[in-house]
């Protein structure tokens, strides 16, 4: 059953989607959507179906949240750990980055990319392996709550290699770009 035509605009606005974005997704023109929302046209069944289906896709995407796609166990490294130990931890777990912790507090991040950059810039590998993580760490990963929608997480992962999911100020999970694929399968 199709929704009321008058509800299409409300659903679109609630999702924060422009008429142009919805038009592209639904395969109709932006001007048609504008006319429908203003009540100036009686759209065909197929156009209402296209718009409704596109909105349903967006609503499903909005309903997926951090807790649905996060990896529940966070593998982290202490700030006092040697770089050589952190590298072993990355390799043994088949991951490419780690949150750096000071007790229960997230204070930085450690990644293959940082080590690669240091080596490429001429840092001696034997000296690097004996340094502590705190000496080479990057900024901490951004944090989100468990109920954060995937639409807010995706942009964070365009500029960061991971996002930490927190509840009550404590890390409960981690999300990487690979975890976003879980949302596509849902």
pLDDT in tens, 26-57: 999 999 999 999 999 999 999 999 999 999 88
Quickly count: other Cβ atoms within 10 Å of residue 31's Cβ: 11
Percent of the chain with pLDDT over 70: 95
What is the per-residue pLDDT for 104?
A: 82
| CB 133, CB 77: distance < 8 Å | yes
144-166 average pLDDT score: 91
146-156 average pLDDT score: 88
What is the per-residue pLDDT for 17?
A: 87
């Amino acid at each position: 059953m199709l929704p009321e035509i008058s509800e299409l605009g409300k659903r679109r606005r609630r999702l924060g989607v422009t008429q142009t974005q919805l038009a592209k997704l639904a395969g109709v023109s932006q001007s048609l959507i504008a006319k429908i929302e203003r009540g100036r046209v009686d759209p065909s069944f197929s156009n209402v179906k296209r718009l409704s289906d596109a909105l349903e896709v967006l609503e499903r995407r909005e309903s997926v949240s951090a807790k649905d796609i996060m990896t529940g166990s966070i593998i982290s490294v202490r700030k006092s750990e040697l770089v050589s130990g952190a590298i072993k931890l990355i390799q043994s777990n088949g991951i490419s980055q780690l949150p750096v912790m000071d007790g229960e507090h997230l204070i930085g991040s450690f990644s293959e990319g940082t080590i690669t950059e240091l080596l490429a810039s001429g840092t001696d590998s034997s000296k690097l392996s004996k340094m502590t993580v705190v000496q080479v760490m990057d900024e901490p990963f951004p944090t989100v709550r468990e109920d954060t929608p995937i639409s807010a997480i995706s942009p964070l992962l365009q500029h960061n290699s991971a996002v930490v999911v927190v509840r009550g100020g404590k890390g409960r999970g981690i999300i990487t770009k690979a975890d976003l694929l879980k949302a596509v399968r849902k």
